[in-house]
Structure 1
Amino acid sequence: MEPRSAAAAGKDFPYTARTTCYVEVHEDGTVTHGGGHAAYERAVAGKSRLFAVWPGEWSSHLFVIDDLDEYAKAHGIKHDEERTGLKEHVHDVQWEPNPYGESSPRSPYLSVSVTLDCGCEIHDLRTFAAQMKAQQGWDVATSGGWGSSGAPGGKREYSLRVRRRSLTG
């Protein structure tokens, strides 16, 4: 039986779901688990093939990762503006402490309200965190909750946590 095609599922394939397990079959027949940038590079070079096991309720399904470009976009290896909502440019960011967030001065993180005056929207916090680390030195927490508010089609305000020592301005 041949594995199913991840490409056939399109953008609905759960590339980044916690329950998706990656299996890499190397050209010498060695089988390893995991994914990431190195596995992507080997697959692009033809040195391995990537597969994903996606557990269902009663059984698991095996998929061949046959759209490596979509895999790379989903994992942030290649930038995808549609998926992240973020252009690759220096963001025009306004921020202030969130009056409804964590207020303990001993907490290493500060809850902040952020608006992007450059027209971008945050759909993927990890991508925004990486961009802000590179652009302003911020350490944005990606393991906790975050959210946004605002009218559809209007400017959005984002609530997130940033390491206090990394904030400037």
Structure 2
Amino acid sequence: MRGLIALKPRNAAAAGKDFPYGLPTTCFIEVSSDGSVSQGIDVQAYERAVEGTSRLFAVWPGTYSSDLFAIDDLDAYARAVGIVHDQERTGLAEHEHQIRWQPADLDSNGHGTYIYVVVHFECGCAIRDLRAFADQMRAQRGWDVATSSGWSGSGDRFTVRVRRRSLSA
């Protein structure tokens, strides 16, 4: 085939912890053994890659060009995208969190859908990944934590936005 360029992707593992698995503009691609191509992240694609029936790739977009990477460390990929829990990355152990919480002083609208909540961890955990915290709080307390906005805090005290009605659940 004339004009076809064989691409040799770089290895994601070579970038180490700096590889942007969680960057929203990173595009994930799965190429199955039959040559079919799909896009996105899901548990099934990860399982097929572990079984060896497909390969995973990522396109890391840059300012002037983008690079193609082979996902060659499936364990790092699974931890980074939340398929497998990673306490070091998230700051959250997989246990029932011992927390105290109170409404934050910055809640100026006492009737809004969401309320800012100050969370004090008494179990030694910390929030480094808001989506992981939201998933754990939904399972443990029924809270609907907003993941579209950020969080603030350090040590054992963090401020997050929570759907007001879910706090009474």
Using structure 1 for the length normalisation, give the TM-score.
0.91
Deviation at 1:124, TM superposition (A): 0.5
Partner in structure 1 of residue 4 of structure 2: none
Partner in structure 2 of residue 165 of structure 1: 165
Q: How does 1:17-166 map to 2 (within 5 A)?
A: 17-100=23-106, 102-149=107-154, 155-166=155-166
1:41 aligned partner, one-letter code: E
Give 5+ residue unaligned stretches, structure 2. 1-6
How many Å separate the matches in 2 of 1:35 and 1:76?
10
Deviation at 1:104, TM superposition (A): 1.8
How many Å separate the matches in 2 of 1:32 and 1:148?
38
Q: Which moved more, 1:69-78 or 1:36-45?
A: 36-45
How many Å separate the matches in 1 of 2:130 and 2:61?
25
How many Å separate the matches in 2 of 1:60 and 1:99?
44
Determine if contact 1:103/1:110 at 8 Å carries over to the other structure: no
| Identity across the alignment (%) | 60
CA RMSD of aligned residues (A): 1.4
1:70 aligned partner, one-letter code: A
Residue 135 of structure 1 aligns to a residue whose secondary structure is helix
How many Å separate the matches in 2 of 1:59 and 1:143?
28
1:112 aligned partner, one-letter code: V
Residue 35 of structure 1 aligns to a residue whose secondary structure is coil
Determine if contact 1:93/1:114 at 8 Å carries over to the other structure: yes
Deviation at 1:9, TM superposition (A): 1.0
Equivalent residues, number:
163
